[in-house]
Chain A
């Protein structure tokens, strides 16, 4: 499960609720109000007022 927040963190948990990855840092560009993903593993972030100049950000999975 991917968990994204307003603080700039993206945290990925496995089904045992263990953290498997932590991306971003405090107030990084990974701030989001909303998020979704596609079958390719890409993510889309929707920051609203956290980043008004970039309202739809793609995180393209490369690994």
Chain B
């Protein structure tokens, strides 16, 4: 009898490419080579690269941490951040080579040294700004409103639905922050944040931490009616700057991107068939 067992890493034998005119990418399903095989099951929110093409992976399960890999995916180390960060969402490198991470559910963003030591913080840790965001809308509607528990048993088991309902309660732009989602830095070294899970804002801070501007409006009115449009955000999920220092703000659940000139004027509105843009 011949006993054959295909190799565990048999997936590497298959080459998958996504290509269109001018662009082609090989799809590699598992980039990092972790020292612990179980790490592949940890929920990863996002990541970013440094100038040497090392990749920093933001893990948000359990002890929040940042894992650093070299450009080939080899493990270089782990930056433990649970002392300062509860749930890392998005991050980037600063011009000084520090790590900037949004600490979403503590309503702040934290700057750390490459070794994970605290440098400074933006926002008020643990204090959400007033935007009307009501985390308990789903629970209230269930107890006092139109939703009956017997009708929505399956939905109730999906806590995400409570998030969706809460996002429709954001009726005004608040100060920094209310569940800040994302960050980037422009050519002047100014810090830009997408303040999106509990707010509808794009905030810009000077390098010294002074708030310079806040842009954006909610996409729902006080009756819960949806009014989408340029600069009106359902969820500001990601921000990025381009070579002209324009700020691109991705409205994930609005399936749109609003692009701001550096002075805050809206330069473009890209809307529809983007697949709910999560990142830029």
- Chain B residue contacts of A58, Cβ below 8 A: 27-28, 31, 73
- State in angstroms the CA–CA spacing of A28 and B25 once bound together: 14
CB of A39 within 8 A of CB of B53, answer yes
Q: How far is the CB of A45 from chain B (nearest CB, A)?
A: 9
Q: Chain A: residues with CB nearer than 8 A to chain B?
A: 1-13, 15, 17, 20-24, 26, 28-40, 42-44, 46, 48-49, 52, 54-63
A38, B71: Cα distance in complex, Å: 8
Cβ contact within 8 Å between A63 and B279: no
A51 to B255 CA separation, bound complex (whole angstroms): 20
Contact A38 B47 (CB under 8 A): no
Asked if A17 and B275 make an inter-chain contact with CB atoms under 8 angstroms apart, the answer reads no
How many residues belonging to B are interface residues under a CB distance threshold of 8 Å?
57
- Whether A55 lies near B24 (C-beta < 8 A) is no
Q: Which residues of A contact B257 (CB under 8 A)?
A: 3
Whether B268 sits at the interface, judged by CB under 8 Å, is yes
CA distance A5 to B272 in the complex (A): 11
Query: How far, in angstroms, from A46 to B278 measured CA to CA in the complex?
Result: 10
How far is the CB of A57 from the nearest CB of chain B, in Å?
6
Say what secondary structure dominates the interface of chain B.
Answer: strand
The smallest C-beta distance from B77 to any residue of chain A, in angstroms, reads: 16
Is A62 a contact partner of B270 (Cβ separation < 8 A)?
no
What's the nearest-Cβ distance from chain B to residue A36, in Å? 5
Least distance between A37 CB and chain B CB atoms (Å): 7
The answer to whether B263 has its CB under 8 Å from any CB of chain A is: no
The closest CB in chain B to the CB of A27 belongs to B275
List residues of chain A with CB within 8 A of the CB of B29: 54, 57
Q: Are B278 and A33 in contact (CB under 8 A)?
A: yes
Which residues from A are CB-within-8-Å of B248?
1
Known pairs A38-B55, A58-B73. 4 more at Cβ < 8 A?
A34-B46, A46-B57, A56-B47, A59-B26
Q: Are A9 and B273 in contact (CB under 8 A)?
A: yes
Q: Which residue of A lies closest to B273 (CB)?
A: A9
Q: Does B17 contact A (CB under 8 A)?
A: yes
Min C-beta distance of B133 to chain A, whole Å: 20
Docked-complex contact B23 and A5, CB < 8 angstroms: no
* Interface pair A1/B57, CB less than 8 Å apart: no
